[in-house]
Amino acid sequence: MAKRVHRAGRRRANALRARDARPLLDRILDTPNLAHVVPRLQPELLHRVIQRCGLEDCWELVALATPDQLARVIDLDLWQADRPGADEQFDAARFGVWLDVLMESGPTVAADKLSQMDVNLVSAAFAQHARVFDRAAVSPPASLDGERGEHATAGTPDDGLSSEVGGYVLVARRADAWDAIVTVLVSLDAEHHDYFHRLMRACRSLSNSGFELDGLHDLLSDEEQVMFDLAFDRERRRETQGYVTPAQAHAFLQIARQLPLGQETLPPGNPVARAYFRSIESVDAADPNSGSRRLPAASDAPPASEDSADEVAAVIDVLLEAGILPPQPRALLDGPQGHAPRLARIHAHIQNAAGDPAAYSMRSQELAYLANTIVAGCSIQARPFTAQEASDAAVAICNLGLENWPRHWPPDNLVSVFQVGWTVLHDDVAMDTAERLISILTHLRSDDREIQIGLDALRIELSRHWRAGAPWRARDAMDVIAILDMPTWATLLGLIDECPVIHAGMEASRGSPTRSVSASAFEFISQTSQIASVRDFMQSLPETLRG
């Protein structure tokens, strides 16, 4: 009961969180012929709507999605990493939310959706919520005195929530989504009998207690092996769709920030990027219709009519207006406007490739790869990047790379250009700022004993991580700076980061009348002149901290 109350509370919290997004969802739901529109949306786009509006509120869109769309959205939604760059793990609780949402359309619809999904995925997900046994396995023979036998199967109904469906006994491993699981299994048994038994047999095989303590007990259990196989298959699918795994992204970014800019000849290309683009080329060669890496509409979507095409376009316009679908970077393709002067070099670079379709397509793929790598393997302000932030960061870093491209190196692809900019950010911003701060802290003294202890601890922690080349790992120790000057603290957190940025606090800490700034008020570093302003800020920092 407590967990059900908790789930109700979670739903109320999600409803409050999504309240501001509800007008957007209303506009989508008011689209004429919505049943023809939803199946034609890219799965990635549908996932962004779910993220913005909340899964529970999007149950009508989920009900209209095709099995192919749902499979792709689930690939995006059910696997989570606890931090950027970490391996993504299957989220059993999130699967329970999905079951609840599918049940909003009724058990028949939910069962029909599940029956068209990969039984290995569904069984692995169900196994996180319940153990499954044959009826006979949990009905031990009675002893002579009528009492239960002492060798009864572990995990029997006496241990907690349980139910019998279609000759199988389900014993709960967790209580959330339990009612939805039982109800949808009853419907599967009645309407998709073959799939039901395949699912239950798979769940039953995952419900054993593991290996005996012999030479095999160090092997993966059946459940662990299934989850490993699912994760591996998912990575292979996503690679063909242009995604980058967290491990690949982390390795690429780590290598990219160590480019020897003083070398006479251009170093060999990043091995992680080379392997990625080779795999993409092999996919394109095997599938001539693969085209770009953009996610297409579901393959089982109904044929589009002229009216539905107009309605899809209208939905796309709504999503563009809401910022869910990022606009195309027109500043890179059209004449200078908006922020284009600050990105003049990358603008010119893209413009020069516009006359060559093959070169232009390659530049687009490179930028997409870089943005995906930033999303998968990097953090900003100790949180993951949004898709738009990653795209903006990739463009800005490439512009910085072009500004700092060694004159004696021949022109090369945008991946190499990015590595130059990424190395400059690491060496001339994150590492340089950290080194200067360490020097300042060595001489900075406070009359407040607690503050002085915090400053000393920061100096020691920052020095340790600076020597390892990752000063941003001392982030938590920088809280003491916030006591002395809040804008300075926000600025230093932005500069000493995996992806250094210039926070609006830098101007506030240098005498600007505005002393309160938003955490999201920052800009990506795209020019060498911005790095010069960072050094000016650091020169004035001792006076600022002394008050």
pLDDT of residue 296: 39
Q: What are phi and psi of 89, to 5 degrees?
A: -120, 150
Q: Which residues contact 247 (CB under 8 A, 6 or more apart)?
A: 87
| Cβ–Cβ under 8 Å, residues 379 and 84 | yes
Lookup: tokens for 107: 């058990």
Return d(Cα 259, Cα 427) in angstroms, integer. 10
Q: Which residues contact 308 (CB under 8 A, 6 or more apart)?
A: 33, 36, 37, 40
Q: Which residues contact 456 (CB under 8 A, 6 or more apart)?
A: 441
Q: Over its length of 547 residues, how does the chain's per-residue pLDDT go in tens digits?
A: 334 433 444 444 454 444 445 688 888 888 888 888 899 888 888 888 898 889 999 999 999 998 888 888 888 888 777 666 667 788 888 989 999 999 999 999 999 999 998 888 888 889 889 999 988 766 544 443 444 334 344 444 444 788 999 899 999 988 888 999 999 999 999 999 999 999 999 898 887 654 444 444 455 566 667 777 777 677 666 666 667 778 888 899 999 999 999 888 888 888 888 877 776 665 444 444 444 333 334 445 555 555 567 777 888 788 777 767 655 443 343 444 444 578 889 988 888 887 788 888 888 888 988 998 998 899 998 888 888 899 999 999 999 999 999 998 998 899 999 999 999 999 999 999 999 999 999 999 999 999 999 999 999 999 999 999 999 999 999 999 999 999 999 999 999 999 999 998 787 665 555 555 666 689 999 999 999 999 999 999 999 888 6
- Which DSSP category does 501 fall into? E
Lookup: tokens for 365: 């793929």
Per-residue burial over 52-84, b = 16 or more CB atoms within 10 Å of its CB, e = otherwise: bbbbbbbbebbbbbbbbbbbbbbbbbbbeeeeb
Return d(Cα 420, Cα 401) in angstroms, integer. 5
